[in-house]
Amino acid sequence: MPDVMLAARLHSPGAPLKIEDCPLPTLEPGEVLVRVAACGVCGSDLHMWRGAVPVRKTPIVLGHEIAGTVAACGPESSTWKADDAVIVRAGASCGNCRHCRSRRDNLCSGQRVLGMDLDGGFARYVKAPAASLVPLPDGIPSEIGAILADAVATPFHALTERGALQPGESVAVFGCGGLGTHAVQLARLLGAGQVIAIDVRQPALERARELGAHEIVNAESEAPYKAVHRLTEGGVDLALECVGQPETITQAVRSLRPGGRAVIVGMGQEPIGLPPPALFAWREYAVLGSFGSTRADLDRVIELVKSGTLDLSGSISARLPLEEASKALEMLESKEGDPVRLVILPWEGV
């Protein structure tokens, strides 16, 4: 094993990430060192890079969508052995709090998040709790495995656990980036009777149509909630908001039929405005938050991909070497190439 590793580190918000040699992490009991094969670039990474979401320390290695192979194991990590292919879950949960005990480990009160609290995957190696590792089955490429635990499992959790989607129900997906694109695919796969994709970018909408959306709505040309009511019998059963902006959340709520549910997945920072309380009471609206996913969600998503039921072959929009991590963030910010997911390959070109 080397003594140092190459990593892309954030020293100050907005500045280019510095590509530099860092000491190889020292393993404590229960920790594993993973050789990073691929790391997805998420909107949360962009928010932290721009300073909209605070990181817990600087410098820090961003990146929380990680897949790779086990390089070394610390004491009390005997579950794993060298060269095991793994997905690294972003949140390191404690396993003991009431949320973990009730299988809602995404809400762990002591959770530490890779790329925010701890160094993440924009590096050639990352250390993580052994309990955060999940086997990556043969036949699933590392770059697909990397995005499963967030870009795919997050909308799966929002649809199934928070939104309680039932076969035949109607769904509106607000925002067709990485989360929303996969939400469209998953909603169809889970039996939604009507899926409506909403965005301001026509290429993203056309992609959503190709992936299963029954209807598309360009929010630049028509008020989304009006379009949804026009395309349905009085609104949708479930609206998934994947943008995190006050105006899209308001539109999502207004797109509901009486008794409908709006699930907020987008991680914006601005206060939201909602319809008057009387409207909520009269129409029995529900507005729910959804954060990440549980281990059980990820297991189900992995099985869908392993069985060939969920095709993610079009999800990787570009692959970049570690040295171009800042460029990847710029591409995500500018929507260059209308990306679903960009992926960093730390060993590319070595």
Q: Examine the domain organization and report whether 134 and 80 are in the same domain.
A: yes
pTM of the model: 0.95
Q: Which secondary-structure segment (H or E) carries 69?
A: strand 65-73
Q: What is the largest CA-CA distance in the chain?
A: 64
Number of structural domains in the chain:
2
Does 350 fall in a domain? Answer: no
Does 304 fall in a domain? Answer: yes
For the chain, the average pLDDT equals 94
Domain of 269, CATH number, reads 3.40.50.720
Distances 170 to 213, 225, 262, 311 between C-alpha atoms, Å? 11, 14, 12, 22
Is the separation of the CB atoms in 253 and 239 below 8 Å?
Answer: yes
Residue 191 predicted with pLDDT over 80:
yes
Full domain range(s) for residue 209: 164-289
Please state the rounded mean pLDDT for residues 123-150: 96
List, for residues 56-103, the tens digit of each pLDDT value. 889 999 999 999 999 999 988 778 999 999 999 988 787 788 888 888
Confidence of residue 276 (pLDDT cuts 50, 70, 90): confident
Q: Examine the domain organization and report whether 211 and 273 are in the same domain.
A: yes
List, for residues 90-135, the tens digit of each pLDDT value. 887 877 888 888 888 888 888 888 999 999 999 999 999 999 999 9
Tell me how crowded residue 119 is: count the other CB atoms within 10 A of its CB. 23
Q: Examine the domain organization and report whether 241 and 211 are in the same domain.
A: yes
Domain of 128, CATH number, reads 3.90.180.10
- The reported pLDDT for the residue numbered 350 is 65
Q: Examine the domain organization and report whether 210 and 127 are in the same domain.
A: no
Single residue among 250, 267, 289 that ends a domain in this structure = 289
Cis-peptide, bond into residue 59, ω within 30° of zero: yes
Residue 10 CB partners (closer than 8 Å, separation 6+): 17, 48, 49, 55, 58, 59, 60, 61, 62
